[in-house]
Structures are given as C-alpha cells and as structure tokens.
Amino acid sequence: MKIKVGDLVELQPINNRNRQLRGQEKKHIWEVVELSPSTICFDGGPGISILHRATNHERWVQEDDIKILDYSENLR
C-alpha cells in the first residue's frame, strides 16, 4: 500500500542519524506530513516529510527509512 499524509510510521535504524533519534532521543513513531516527488536533500529524488508530534521535530526521509505502522484511514 502506498504511503499517504497522516500515516503513522516507525523510523528504521538504517543509518547513524536514525539510530541516534531512536536510541538517545526515543523518537520511534512519526506522522507523515508531506510527500514530495522531488527534494533538494535527496538530489531531486522523492522525499517524505515526517513529524514527531511530542517534540514537534520534523525531518525529510526516504521511503526506505520508514515502515508504516497505521494507515491514516484507520486513525479517524
């Protein structure tokens, strides 16, 4: 199923920054807030903006960085 705005996702520990956010800062669960077919931070590749609601921390990731936990239509 395709990722949509509003989906809850888990940040995967595939790089040092993601491991740091998960381990030291306990930021596992995020919400998808924007999808972009072209982002500067990924050399024009697609990106997904995610938000950690408890801390208001927002960051751009690629699809491989996250795993869907709950789809937006299930949260209403």
Residue 65 within any structural domain of the chain:
yes
CA 52 to chain centre: 9
- Mean pLDDT for the stretch of residues 44-73: 95
Sequence letter at residue 6: G
**Residue 26: exposure state from Cβ atoms within 10 A (0-12, 13-18, ≥19):** exposed
Structure tokens at 37: 């077919």
Q: What is the pLDDT of residues 5-39, one digit of tens each?
A: 999 999 999 999 999 999 999 999 999 999 999 99
Residue 3 within any structural domain of the chain:
no
Residue 54 within any structural domain of the chain:
yes
Q: What percent of the chain has pLDDT over 90?
A: 88
Q: Looking at residue 16, what is its pLDDT? A: 96
Return d(Cα 54, Cα 21) in angstroms, integer. Answer: 13
Domain tally, the chain: 1
Q: Note whether 48 and 32 are within 8 A (CB).
A: yes
Residue 1 within any structural domain of the chain:
no
pLDDT at 60 over 70: yes
pLDDT at 1 over 80: no
Q: Looking at residue 73, what is its pLDDT? A: 81
